[in-house]
Amino acid sequence: MRLLHKLEPVFWMLFGAGGFAAALILPALMFGLTIAAPAGWLSDYATSYHRVRGLAANPLGQVILAAVISLVLWHAAHHLRHLCLDLGLRRVHAPLAYLLYGLALLGTVASIRAVASL
């Protein structure tokens, strides 16, 4: 618990940054990637493997993608931790917090590895 309290300002900072990253970028990104592209509303050129890979593998694209994925995961972990507290799960609060932040850390490493492999 002491470590959690010590790192609380960091978690809140990541929560805020992740919230804005998610609120400003995810709606359009998710609509384009998960709805418009599979539905065929975008041209074949727009969704072609080589074009999308080129965008994602660009250094700026890599940084943006890794940052958005990581920050959103940290935001989600912090929000879910506090939701569990609000719902009265105080007894399992510490292990739950470590689990959620651990998954966010794992996702951060995975996102950096994924963009680096492009």
Partner 1 sequence: MSPPAEPTPTAAARAPDGFWLQHPHYRSYVLFAGTGLVLAIDALIVLRGIRALSEGTAAWAAYLAALGSPIGVAACWALFLGTLFFSIRWLRVGAKIPPVPVPLLFSLPRSVFLVGHYATLGALSVLLALILSGVIL
Q: Which of 4, 17, 52, 105 binds partner 1 (CB under 8 A)?
A: 52
Interaction of residue 4 with partner 1, rule CB under 8 A: no
Extract the tokens encoding 27: 């709606």
Helix, strand, coil percentages for the chain (3-state, nearest 5): 85, 0, 15
For helices 2-30 and 59-86, what crossing angle results, to 10°? Answer: 120
Interaction of residue 43 with partner 1, rule CB under 8 A: yes
Interaction of residue 89 with partner 1, rule CB under 8 A: no
Q: Which of 4, 17, 42, 96 binds partner 1 (CB under 8 A)?
A: 42
Which candidate, 28, 32, 37, 114, places its Cα nearest to that of 70?
A: 114
Yes or no: say if 23 and 82 are a contact pair by the CB < 8 Å rule.
Answer: no
Residues that bind partner 1 (CB under 8 A): 18-20, 22-40, 42-43, 45-47, 49, 51-53, 55-57, 65, 68-69, 72-73, 75-80, 82-83, 86-88, 90, 107, 110-111, 114-115, 117-118
